[in-house]
Amino acid sequence: MRYAQLVIGPAGSGKSTYCSSLNQHCETIRRTMHIVNLDPAAEVFNYPVAMDIRELVSVDVVMEELKCGPNAALIRCMEYLEDSLYNWLDEELENFTDDDYLVFDCPGQIEIFTHVPVLKNFVEHLKKNDFSVCAVYLLDSQFVTDVTKFISGCMVSLSAMIQLELPHVNILSKMDLLQDKSNIEEYLDAEPRTMLAGLDQRMAPQFAKLNKAFIELVEQYSMVRFTPLDLRKERSIQYVLSEIDKCIQFGEDAEVKIRELDEDMDQLEL
């Protein structure tokens, strides 16, 4: 079994910074982890890139050849990646062995993980290659300052969860940059009635039924919970990593192998 994180979220939510900090943390605790760039428009990296989609296709080249804008070019790049799963991706994955742990740094265009099936097909291909995958959705905590923005973030997260059909960990990123954390606490384990009252207070009366539908949807899918991440604190990074490891059962296979080896040794001694 091999393991993977699919790091998704809106543009500017801190995905690349998260990958860089995760890489540094794993180097500190002497744990091997490989970061993969899946953003064909990326330019600068603060982490070693183990695999890079730009070796296959780049946004600049697509924009020039197809005479389109950056958003359309990015979609076309990801579609080209989808067409290359059985050649380029498989060849790249051959460089990794059993028990390897990959972190895929994805583009920030939300259509990639909420509307088009590119990432879903990408994930299914990883599963066929014996990967246990978890989606890690990052939401900038600086934008979760009131209930309307929080519900908006929940809707995007929920859309990604339904689209990808993966174990899912939601993270409030950039907590280290947030000056006032008092408003954040109430959203980490929000009460539906409190959120509904906040929506009704901020929006016009004609939206009352829509507000209720939103809250009922969030309540029904009670797995929409956010874990705060403060990159200044090693224990915060470690906690988030442990939550993801639980989702993909990282380490459990190793424990099973050790027990099986001990049993084999006991048999040999007998």
Reported as a single tens digit per residue, the pLDDT across 36-63 is 999 999 988 999 999 999 999 999 999 9
- Residue 48 included in any domain: yes
pLDDT digits (tens, 9 = 90+) for 111-127: 888 888 999 999 999 99
Q: Tell me the residue range of the domain where 121 lies.
A: 2-178+225-248
What's the domain count of the chain? 1
Is pLDDT of 270 > 80? no
What pLDDT sits at residue 251?
78
Residue 135 sits in a domain whose CATH number is 3.40.50.300
| pLDDT-wise least confident of 21-25, 123-127, 139-143, 262-266 | 262-266
Q: What is the pLDDT of residues 136-187, one digit of tens each?
A: 999 998 777 778 888 888 888 888 888 999 999 999 998 888 877 777 777 7
Residue 54 lies in a domain: yes
What is the per-residue pLDDT for 221? 66
In a domain, 197, yes or no: no
Residue 131 lies in a domain: yes
Looking at the predicted structure, is the pLDDT value of residue 31 above 80?
Answer: yes
The reported pLDDT for the residue numbered 9 is 92
- Find out whether 133 and 123 touch, Cβ atoms under 8 Å: yes
Asked whether the beta carbons of 5 and 103 are under 8 A apart, the reply is: yes
What is the pTM assigned to this prediction? 0.87
Residue 242 lies in a domain: yes
Lowest mean pLDDT among 23-37, 43-57, 188-202: 188-202
* pLDDT band at 268; cut points 50, 70, 90: very low
Please tell me the predicted confidence (pLDDT) of residue 181.
74
